[in-house]
Chain A
């Protein structure tokens, strides 16, 4: 399996622009997670899905952030409008249903908002 695939690897945009991050999970995994990583706050869970349904979005920082999972093989995280404080590395991860199953992370998207 190719693993979790994220695109783009790097995104540089100006404040106020819309940003869309994409993720393809590992085939057969039931859960999909979006994380944000910064030096100041470490790794933060933004939202996760089970069988394409959002289960917990309490980590989404504000209404500017939205995530969708239209099918089992694709998810997006959208920021509109973007702000400089959104600059971070965004990771997508997927896993099987069984408790204790490891998370498989993509290589992340490094977002820079100027």
Chain B
């Protein structure tokens, strides 16, 4: 079936460090892929997305490339800030029902000054 696997957290980094959060997926067809971010005490919000293979989504310095050959959508940022501390969720919407997202379990990121 369709599924999303994220690296387990928590991830703790110092400010200005490089960030990678791994996400791999299993899906039939050609899903769309998303990263959502949840700041403390808030709901999730879309960070970036990619809808087809080799697309790169980017926002707020974060990037992720849709790699069909490795079924991956890893999130990266070159220099994290304390304000990036949050929980990051990888998700996919699969062909046939793009309203029903499949979610990863989330990866908690803490950035220390």
Contacts and interface: CB of A to CB of B under 8 A. Distances in A.
A55 B44 CA distance: 22
Given A107-B42, A107-B43, A100 B32 contact: yes
Interface string B84-113: 000001000100001111011110000000
B46 interface: yes
Interface string A101-112: 011111110000
A45 interface: yes
B26 to A, nearest CB: 16
Nearest to B89: A43
A104 to B, nearest CB: 8
Contacts of A48: 99-100
Given A42-B105, A42-B106, A43-B89, A99 B98 contact: yes
Per DSSP, are chain B's interface residues mostly helix, strand or loop, or mixed?
strand
Interface residues of B, number: 21
A96 to B, nearest CB: 11
Nearest to A42: B105
A31 B51 CA distance: 20
Contacts of A104: 45
Most chain A Cβ neighbours within 10 Å, of B36, B42, B43, B104: B43
A55 B89 CA distance: 24
Contacts of B99: 31, 33, 48, 50, 55, 95
Nearest to A33: B99
A43 B100 contact: no
Given A48-B100, A99-B98, A107-B41, A43 B46 contact: no
A34 B64 CA distance: 27
Interface of A: 4, 31, 33, 42-43, 45, 48, 50, 55-56, 91, 93, 95, 99-100, 102-108
Q: Sort A-B residue pairs by CB-CB distance and give the 6 closest, nearest first.
A: A105-B43, A102-B46, A99-B98, A42-B105, A43-B103, A105-B44
Interface of B: 32, 34, 36, 41-46, 49, 51, 89, 93, 98-101, 103-106
